Amino acid sequence: MIREYVDESKPDLNSIAPSYSKGKHEKKKKPALDDLVQYVTLHIRNPIVLSGIVMPFVLMYLTAFYAWIFVYGIDVHYEAGLISVAVIAFAQILSLLCCYWSVHVLAFLNCRKVKIPAEGVLAKVVPTPNNGSSQLVHIHCSKLANGEQQLYFVFQKTKYVWDEEKCTFHGIAFPVHEILSHYSRSRGHETEAAVKIAEQTYGLNEMKMVVPEFYELFIERATAPFFVFQIFSVALWCLDEYWYYSLFTLVMMVIFECTLVGQQLHNMAEIRKMGNKPYSISVLRQNKWRQIISDQLVPGDIVSITRSQNDNLVPCDIVLLRGSCIVDESMLTGESVPQMKESLETLDNLDVELDMEGDSKLFVLFGGTKVVQHTAPTKDAIRAPDGGCIGYVLRNGFNTSQGKLLRTILFGVNRVTENNLETFAFILFLMVFAIAAASYVWIKGTEDPERSRYKLFLECTLILTSIIPPDLPIELTLAVNTSLMQLSKLFVFCTEPFRIPFAGKVQICCFDKTGTLTSDNLMVEGIVGMSDDINAIVPMDRAVDHTIQVLATCHSLVMLDDGLVGDPLEKATLTAVDWSLTKQDSVIPKRGKLKPLRIFHRYYFSSALKRMSVLAGYLVPFSNDIFYIGTVKGAPEVIQNMLKEVPKDYEKTFLEYSRRGARVLALGIKEFGQMDAQRVRELKRDDVECNLIFAGFVIISCPIKPDSKSVIKELIHASHKVVMITGDNPLTACHVAKELRFTRKKLLILTPGEMDNEKNIKWHWLSVNTDAAYSLKHDLKDMLASYDLCITGEGLNYLKDNENPYMQKILQHVTVCARFAPKQKEYVITSLKHLGYYTLMCGDGTNDVGALKHAHVGVSLLSTAPAKLRRRRDVTNGTGSITVDTGSSSSGNTTRNTGGNRSVATIGSNSTERRNLMPRERAILRHRENLNSTQARLQTELNEIYEDTTVVKLGDASIAAPFTSKTSSIMCVNHIIKQGRCTLVTTLQMFKVLALNALISAYCQSVLYIDGVKFSDMQATLQGLFIAACFLCITRSKPLKTLSKTAPLPNIFNFYSISTILCQFAVHFGALYYLTQEATARAPVREGKVKLYIDMEAEEKQTFEPNIINSTVYIICLALQVSTFAVNHKGHPFMESLRENRPLLTSILVSSALVLFLSLGLSSVLTEAFEIVSFPDDFRNTLVLVLLADTIAAFALDRICSFLFGETRQTSKIVNY
Residues identified as active-site? 512
| Residue 568, amino acid | P
451 CB-near residues (< 8 Å, 6+ apart): 445, 1092, 1094, 1095
1148 CB-near residues (< 8 Å, 6+ apart): 1030, 1122, 1125, 1126, 1138
How many angstroms separate the CA atoms of 1181 and 1162, rounded?
13
602 CB-near residues (< 8 Å, 6+ apart): 340, 556, 612, 613, 614, 615
Contact 18, 85 (CB under 8 A): no
Closest CA to 815 of 711, 712, 703: 712
Please give the order of strands across the beta sheet that includes 364-365: 288-293, 280-285, 302-305, 389-395, 317-322, 364-365
878 CB-near residues (< 8 Å, 6+ apart): none
The DSSP output letter for 1005 is I
Instruction: Specify burial of residue 877 (Cβ count, 10 A radius: 0-12, 13-18, 19+).
Output: exposed
Peptide bond before 31: cis, by omega within 30 degrees of 0?
Answer: yes
3-class secondary structure, 1196: helix
Buried b / exposed e along 1051-1087 (16+ C-beta atoms within 10 A):
bbebebbbbbbebbbebbeebbeebbebbeeeeeeee
How many angstroms separate the CA atoms of 891 and 796, rounded?
49
Complete DSSP assignment for 813-850? GEEEEES--HHHHHHHHHHHHHTT--EEEEESSGGGHH
| Residue 1172, amino acid | I
20 CB-near residues (< 8 Å, 6+ apart): 34, 171, 172, 173, 174, 176, 399
How many angstroms separate the CA atoms of 17 and 565, rounded?
26
How many angstroms separate the CA atoms of 1092 and 1103, rounded?
13
Strands 880-881, 389-395: pairing kind: unpaired
246 CB-near residues (< 8 Å, 6+ apart): 234, 235, 237, 238
751 CB-near residues (< 8 Å, 6+ apart): 763, 764, 765, 766, 795
How many angstroms separate the CA atoms of 978 and 717, rounded?
13
| 693 beta partners | 669
Contact 821, 15 (CB under 8 A): yes
Half-sphere exposure of 1003 (CA within 13 A, CB side): 17
Contact 158, 407 (CB under 8 A): yes
402 CB-near residues (< 8 Å, 6+ apart): 207, 274, 276, 313, 331, 332, 366, 367, 368, 369
Contact 670, 693 (CB under 8 A): yes
Give the helix, strand, coil percentages of the chain, each rounded to 5: 45, 20, 35
Handedness of CA 569, 522, 337, 859 (dihedral sign): positive
| Residue 364, amino acid | V
Q: How large is the angle between the packed helices 243-272 and 225-239, nearest 10 degrees?
A: 160
536 CB-near residues (< 8 Å, 6+ apart): 528
Handedness of CA 534, 539, 545, 549 (dihedral sign): positive
